[in-house]
Structure 1
Amino acid sequence: MLNLPPALNDALASEVADLCWCWRLSRRDGLQLGFTQHDAALTLDGLVYQPVGTASLPDAETQAGLAPGSGSLQLAFQDEAISRDDAQQGLWNDARLDLLQTRWQNPIDFAHLQSWWFGEIRMSRRGCEVELVERQHKLEQVIGRVFSRACDASLGDARCGLSVDHPAYALGCDQAFATCRDRFQNTLNFRGFPYLVGNDVLLASPGSEPVRDGGSRGLG
């Protein structure tokens, strides 16, 4: 249950409320930025929250239990506070967003309502769209590598090594070894295990085949 300061409870109960939304962005390097829907800057707990100009109100929802909630946030590159270079260099990766509510007439009283973390960041000409995820999202992330026949690199990244100027780049990649070999001629950087045996071989039982020469089977 969310416990609100008495002043906020009174404001919610009144016919005319002086409430507004605020949200705080916190990077892993310690940088914090504050934004508010109010038409003037507010100071909450020592941080100045600027009127909306480089951000829009987050569109996100939470889920019950361990299911992670998700949403999105639109950011515009309008000043040095949120720059394209910082986003491309990964400085906003896994940043935290805290949603707050306060009384603009007396911002000493505020409530922390929800937190999200930055997921995928999709760049555009004038800004970026940020995927917002709850902390439960970490439970779905794979730790270490998974041994599979498919490649686990992303097309064009450092592990793949393929240049975006490659004539077949626009065709995309389905992570298959044959595609890497025939379309991109990039098998030296293939990050899968194309000759990994399947469950059919691992679970095979003795058969009636006449040949018993000790050779491998099922690897074709």
Structure 2
Amino acid sequence: MRVFFDRELDTAATFWRVFRRDGIALGFTAHDRDLTFSGLTHRSAPGMMPTAIRMTSDLNEDSAGVEGALSHDAIREQDLAAGLFDGAAIEMGIVDWETHEHHVLYAGTFGQIEHDRSGFSGELRSAKQMLEEDYVPRTSPTCRAEFCGRGCGLSAVRYTSRAVLIDVDYDRNAVAFAGINADLYLDGQVRFLDGPQTGAGFFVVGDEGRWLMLDRPLREGLAIGTIAELREGCDHTLATCAARFDNAVNFRGEPFLPGNDLLARYGEGLG
């Protein structure tokens, strides 16, 4: 295995690569020319650099970040705003730019991404972050289970369908599809199968007539006739679970549990 920085003058450069959820893989290097290794061309991007990487042998979360100028055509402001990099897997490491021997120093996913017209910065999350999640259920009046997910018991296939895009309103960030009942998709999801935001997931945050309002900006160029995958939504209330889905037996909430103010109440007829 190649040992880096074991000599006074080393032919080393940093690299990082991004694997987006829509299937696009991008590679970059701080070297002054493109480097191809591991079956991927890493394009020269001296203006984009990993920040300090902290790795520990204990269970504490490793930290890293990446930042750069929006001067590279592979990372554009519109793509960041459209969420194409949200949740993308990322690897960062060091490579010998003569022999292409390399070593991955950090692997994780993109967390919070901040950007403006001139540059961007991204928080990276390692697999250790899963150890910090609290998996102990808490009481709540609404269902804690993800709709059609673990604990819900309903089939995702049953409530997922494909529809044809018939209209787009970029000002309202809304879309309309043929042959659907828009009311069923409030709190649901939309995923386009073609176009500039292929594979990106959108949450439906509102509905007006035939329109579905989405939670993130739509990119110009979304063509009428594009096929999308739609998942119905659920407001996680017991009434909806029982009446619409006949699934009250799997309801993961406590709608009738007394609130914290119970102990502060005076009993009726006392005093």
TM range (shorter): 0.5 to 0.7
CA contact (8 A) 1:148 1:196 kept: no
Aligned with 2:124: secondary structure?
strand
Equivalent residue for 2:263?
Answer: 201
Q: 109, 131, 140: which one pairs with 2:123? A: 131
Verify: 1:62 aligned to 2:55, yes or no: yes
**2:109 match:** 117
Which residue of 50, 55, 80 corresponds with 2:73?
A: 80
- Tell me: CA distance 1:59–1:12, structure 2 relative to 1, closer, same or farther (3 Å): closer
User: TM-score scaled to structure 2, two decimals?
Assistant: 0.49
Amino acid at match of 1:55: M
Percent identical pairs in the alignment equals: 24
Say if 1:60 and 1:132, in contact at 8 Å, map to a contact too: no
1:84 deviation in Å? 1.6
TM superposition score normalised by structure 1: 0.59
More strand by share: 2
The 5-angstrom pairing of residues 11-90 of structure 1 reads: 12-53=5-46, 55-90=48-83
Unaligned runs of 5+ in 2: 142-203, 207-212, 214-254
Alignment RMSD: 3.6
The residue type paired with residue 131 of structure 1 is E
2:91 to 94, 98, 110: 98
Structure with greater proportional helix content: 1
Change (3 A) 1:197 1:126: same
Number of residues of Structure 1 aligned to a counterpart in Structure 2? 160
2:30–2:45 Cα contact (<8 Å) kept: yes
Question: Secondary structure of the equivalent of 1:201?
Answer: helix
- How many angstroms apart in 1 are the aligned matches of 2:117 and 2:7? 44
Long gaps (5+) in structure 1: 150-156, 162-192, 215-220
**C-alpha distance in structure 2 between counterparts of 1:80 and 1:13, whole Å:** 35
SS in 2 for 1:61: coil
Aligned residue type for 1:201? L
